[in-house]
Amino acid sequence: MMLSVLLSVYYKENVHHLSQALDSILHQSVPPTEIILVKDGPLTEELETVLARYQQQYPLLHTVSLPVNQGLGKALNEGLKHCRYPLIARMDTDDIAKPDRFEKQLQVFEQHPEVDICSAWIEEFEDTPTRILAVKKLPETHAEIQKYARHRCPINHPVVMYKKEAVLKAGGYEGFPEDYRLWVKMLGKGARFYNLQESLLYFRFSPSMVKRRGGWRYALADMKSQIDFYRMGFLNLPTLVCNLLIRLTVRLTPNRLRSVIYRKMLRK
């Protein structure tokens, strides 16, 4: 099956991490047909040098340049326009895909043509993939995913593979959080979901990630998204109230305690 891989990079990305991500894509047991990488605004000279080297060596890598940084959602929407194939695999430019990731996800689409979006578990690591901090597990079947989505994000975005048509039908990425909101919209449009019950990607974790997910600004944005889900008819009122209370508490918890919550309660 023809497969596009979609990434977005911006100037703060680590050159070594980018190389690791690209290498993991290029050395899959079933390689992609094309790689679309969106440059979300001007990049550093080091990043440009690395990308030029990869493009020279691998003609399947194509870049799309945005004049200014627009954020992940808008960058991915632009990248979607340039993906030529019906199936698209997402990757972040600091993660590492396991060698058989694409092969196993493509098998799902081949064996279950009704599926529109397929993700998997991810293993979170710090510094090196040999140091796994936690495994982010998610439910398998569409019914389980739909129920889970009413409380938490049901898809690991960095390891997702989806049908381009289903994403465009739902209106693409928008608002906050871009990925969770997209899954809710896709569920509302009748898309069928599936999660492989194994890890297919090493996800780079950092303490700064936990810090970014806290504070009043993040809390208010999170609360707004939940209210939007309620207005869309995805949540009932009791679920909305419960979600707001839990999320507000987590977002305003001190960073050290929130880190413990993420690792011990929200991961397995």
Residues 165, 252: one domain?
no
| 12 and 75 inside one domain | yes
Which CATH number is 113's domain given?
Answer: 3.90.550.10
At residue 200's C-alpha, the angle toward residues 168 and 222, to 5°, is 55
Distance of CA 17 to the CA centre of its chain: 16
- Do both 180 and 228 map to the same domain? no
Based on the structure, what is the number of domains in the chain? 2
Which of 176, 205, 234 is at the close of a domain?
205
pLDDT of 205 reads 85
- Of 205, 221, 256, the position where a domain reaches its end is 205
At 248 the pLDDT is 87
Average pLDDT over the chain, rounded to whole?
92
- Give the model's pLDDT for residue 206: 73
Nearest to 263 by CA among 92, 97, 123: 123
Tell me which of 187, 205, 223 is where a domain ends.
205
Helices in 174-236 by DSSP H: which ranges? 178-188, 207-212, 216-231
Percent of the chain with pLDDT over 70: 91
Shared-domain flag, residues 130 and 177:
yes
Q: Are residues 87 and 52 in the same domain?
A: yes
**15: CB partners within 8 A, 6+ apart:** 46, 47, 50
Q: Do both 137 and 173 map to the same domain?
A: yes
What is the pLDDT, as a whole number, of residue 169? 97
Report pLDDT for 44. Answer: 97
Q: What is the pLDDT along the chain (268 residues), one digit of tens a residue?
A: 899 999 999 999 999 999 999 999 999 999 999 999 999 999 999 999 999 999 999 999 999 999 999 999 999 999 999 999 999 999 999 999 999 999 999 999 999 999 999 999 999 998 899 989 899 999 999 999 999 999 999 999 999 999 999 999 999 999 889 999 999 999 999 999 999 999 999 999 876 565 566 677 888 999 999 999 999 999 999 999 999 998 888 777 776 665 666 555 555 5
Which domain, by its residues, includes 67?
3-205
- CA atoms 158, 159, 165, 169: torsion sign: negative
Q: Judge if 194 and 218 occupy the same domain.
A: no
Q: Do 110 and 215 fall within a single domain? A: no
Q: What integer pLDDT is reported at residue 127 of this predicted model?
A: 84
- Residues 97, 221 share a domain: no
Domain shared by 169 and 216, yes or no: no
In a shared domain, residues 140 and 243: no
Kindly state whether residues 234 and 130 are assigned to the same domain. no
